Amino acid sequence: MSWNNVIPAELLLGTVKLEPKTVENPEVHIPDELVTDCLVRYSIDDYSITSHKDHPAFAELRRVLAARGYIKIPEYACWNGDRVVRRFRFNDFQLEPGDTFYCAGAWAGKISLREKRLD
């Protein structure tokens, strides 16, 4: 085979469309121990702050879900303001368009209640 018959890899890759496969009702799962919030506490002189924020793994999951069009994160900061745009299952909860996608702390509570009901 001569080099005259070879197609450069860049040319071949440029012709391939690599789009994510659309799944009707994808299953999204994150370990329950990562569905939690983290305590944030600090002080500067006589000023102190105590608050909660989502676990970093959960925050990344939210970012990916929003980037793929499954949830809409509001432009303003608020708790439990995310809305489901496309249906999917999250840790065995079926979510439909218009549902709330809660913060990690609220999801942890919902998961805990579900487990108590199953006992």
**Cα–Cα distance, 59 to 90 (Å, whole number):** 14
Within-domain flag for 37: no
Within-domain flag for 29: no
Q: What is the pLDDT of residue 19?
A: 62
Within-domain flag for 32: no
What does the pLDDT look like over 51-72, one tens digit per residue? 888 999 999 999 999 999 999 9
Question: Total domain count for the chain?
Answer: 1
What the block records as the tokens of 37 is 């919030």
**Cα–Cα distance, 23 to 34 (Å, whole number):** 25
Binned at pLDDT 50, 70 and 90, residue 1 comes out as very low
Within-domain flag for 76: yes
* 56-67 vs 104-118: helix crossing angle, rounded to 10: 100
Within-domain flag for 25: no
State yes or no: pLDDT of 24 exceeds 60. yes
Within-domain flag for 50: no
Give the mean model confidence (pLDDT) for residues 105-114.
Answer: 92
**Nearest CA among 75, 116, 74, 69 for reference residue 97:** 69
